[in-house]
């Protein structure tokens, strides 16, 4: 039978994500817990219809956010399951009335469903409390001058291309250009569903090996750049920043940007005195807008700092958990004498380094998530 070759995995009892029906999704087990999600969603939606729901606005915002998160699971699953049922019905028709056009259509649908099921399975690993959020990616060049700064810019392009492949929006929050080439550092905000969950495995030190275009003797160089990934904190998260704890410095923006650059002190640098965290923004034309963006960066970092404190306490109780520090080298990108990108945590290797630099980093992300699952967001730091 045609279906025995191409559609055996569509059997509800054959593949974990597709074992559940609308009436009985409990067979998805602990991976999705669709029954639990549906029950919780029903209860919260009933609560939202109460006339006094908005009296406690802090509680209401939390409920609205949770409803949104639950729908992000339930609705895609229902849509996918309906397509599976439709494909099974088409297969049944083929068994009794073979039709070449329908055969081709089911073949196309099967291929599309395979990709969507795989994507849904992968997303099931994003169970962290902040995985659904947007991501803020901070890129910093390591020691090595122009070569390291060029490497930092290459990584910035790589993450931008990755985001574009997924249809995410990328905003440059801050960027400091190198003296000759590249960047000393940059902060990107990547907006899209679960962008933080997908990008948190990228946090760590990235190593480049190549013949440096900046070396007149064409020698091979090794350069480093660090990546930090923060969840973008929404307004419902209460991070208190007192005015007296902030030191603000203003300066003239540098680099390309129009006539306003170097004419007014529009760039802003904020220092959070209790933590020592320093953030800056110079991409906007007005000082007020730059301050607002810098405050957003600071709030995100303070939130992440609190998460790290909680993770440190948990790590003391979990002696088996590996401590991955900021200095850990997570991935190497070799351009010469051979081409290879090697993730040292999962041993995932790809030989097409240029494709990776064009944003094709999903194999590394998927391998990490499948191996480590919904691990603590701060682990790969």
What is the tens place of the pLDDT at every residue in 49-96? 888 888 887 788 778 878 887 887 788 888 888 888 888 887 787 777
pLDDT of residue 24 exceeding 70, the answer is no
Judge whether 162 lies within some domain.
yes
Whole-number Å distance between alpha carbons of 203 and 168: 19
> What is the structure's pLDDT at 7?
40
CA nearest neighbour of 154 among 100, 210, 101: 210
Residues 73 and 34 in one domain: yes
Residues 46 and 158 in one domain: no
Q: Is the pTM higher than 0.75? A: no
Judge whether 43 lies within some domain.
yes
Residues 268 and 228 in one domain: no
Q: Which of 74, 92, 123 delimits the end of a domain?
A: 123
Residues 189 and 258 in one domain: no
With H, G, I as helix, E, B as strand and everything else as coil, classify residue 223. Answer: strand
CATH of the domain at 15: 1.20.58.410
DSSP readout, 32-89? H-HHHHHHHHHHHHHHHTSTTGGGSHHHHHHHHHHHHHHHHHHHHHHHHHHHHHHHHH
Judge whether 57 lies within some domain.
yes
CATH of the domain at 366: 3.30.70.1660
Residues 28 and 93 in one domain: yes
pLDDT of residue 100 exceeding 80, the answer is no
Residues 145 and 206 in one domain: yes
CA nearest neighbour of 295 among 282, 283, 279: 279
> What is the structure's pLDDT at 238?
61
Q: Strand 204-211 to strand 329-334: parallel, antiparallel, or no bridges (unpaired)?
A: parallel
Q: Which domain, by its residues, includes 330? A: 135-236+320-372
Residues 275-281 have a mean pLDDT of 90
Residues making up the chain, counted from first to last: 381
Residues 217 and 143 in one domain: yes
Candidate from 22-26, 52-56, 325-329, 374-378 with smallest mean pLDDT: 22-26
Residues 155 and 16 in one domain: no
Whole-number Å distance between alpha carbons of 333 and 348: 12
376: phi then psi, degrees, rounded to nearest 5: -60, 135
Q: Which of 297, 317, 337 delimits the end of a domain?
A: 317
Residues 57 and 114 in one domain: yes
Task: Say how many C-beta atoms besides its own lie within 10 A of residue 315's C-beta.
Answer: 16
Judge whether 328 lies within some domain.
yes
Residues 222 and 166 in one domain: yes
Residues 176 and 267 in one domain: no
Judge whether 378 lies within some domain.
no
Number of domains in the chain: 3
Q: Strand 340-343 to strand 204-211: parallel, antiparallel, or no bridges (unpaired)?
A: unpaired
Q: Which of 72, 98, 123 delimits the end of a domain?
A: 123
Model pLDDT for residues 202-252, shown as the tens digit of each residue:
999 999 999 888 887 878 888 999 999 988 876 544 677 888 889 998 888
Residues 91 and 40 in one domain: yes
Judge whether 329 lies within some domain.
yes
Band of the pLDDT at 360, cuts 50, 70, 90? very high
Paired tokens of 301: 């970092």
pLDDT of residue 171 exceeding 90, the answer is yes
């Amino acid at each position: 039978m045609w279906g025995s070759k191409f559609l055996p995995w569509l059997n509800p009892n054959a593949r974990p994500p597709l074992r559940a029906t609308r009436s009985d999704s409990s067979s998805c087990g602990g991976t999705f817990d669709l029954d639990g999600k549906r029950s919780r969603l029903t209860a919260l939606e009933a609560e939202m219809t109460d006339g006094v729901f908005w009296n406690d606005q802090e509680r209401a915002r939390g409920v609205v956010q949770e409803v949104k998160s639950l729908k992000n699971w339930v609705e895609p699953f229902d849509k996918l399951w309906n397509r599976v049922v439709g494909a099974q019905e088409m297969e049944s028709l083929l068994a009794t009335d073979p039709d070449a056009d329908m055969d081709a259509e089911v073949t196309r649908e099967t291929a599309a469903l395979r990709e969507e099921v795989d994507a849904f399975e992968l997303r099931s690993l994003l169970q962290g409390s902040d995985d659904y959020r947007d991501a803020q990616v901070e890129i910093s060049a390591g020691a090595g001058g122009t070569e390291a700064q060029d490497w930092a810019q290459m990584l910035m392009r790589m993450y931008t291309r990755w985001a574009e492949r997924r249809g995410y929006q990328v905003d440059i929050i801050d960027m400091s250009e190198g003296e000759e080439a590249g960047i000393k550092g940059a902060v990107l905000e990547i907006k899209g569903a679960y962008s933080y969950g997908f990008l948190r495995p990228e946090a760590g030190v990235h190593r480049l090996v190549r013949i440096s275009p900046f070396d007149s003797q064409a020698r091979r160089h090794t350069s480093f750049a660090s990546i930090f990934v923060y969840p973008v904190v929404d307004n419902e998260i209460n991070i208190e920043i007192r005015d007296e704890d902030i030191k603000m410095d203003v300066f003239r923006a540098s680099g390309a940007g129009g006539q306003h650059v170097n004419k007014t002190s529009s760039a802003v640098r904020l220092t959070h005195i209790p933590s020592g965290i320093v953030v800056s923004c110079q991409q906007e034309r007005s000082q007020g807008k730059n301050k607002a963006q810098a405050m957003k960066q600071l709030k995100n970092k303070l939130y992440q700092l609190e998460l790290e404190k909680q993770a440190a306490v948990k790590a003391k109780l979990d002696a088996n958990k590996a401590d991955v520090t900021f200095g850990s080298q997570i991935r190497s990108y070799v351009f010469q004498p051979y081409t290879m990108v090697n993730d040292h945590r999962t041993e995932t290797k790809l030989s097409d380094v240029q494709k990776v630099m064009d944003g094709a980093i999903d194999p590394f992300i998927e391998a990490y998530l499948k191996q480590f699952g919904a691990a603590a967001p701060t682990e790969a730091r």
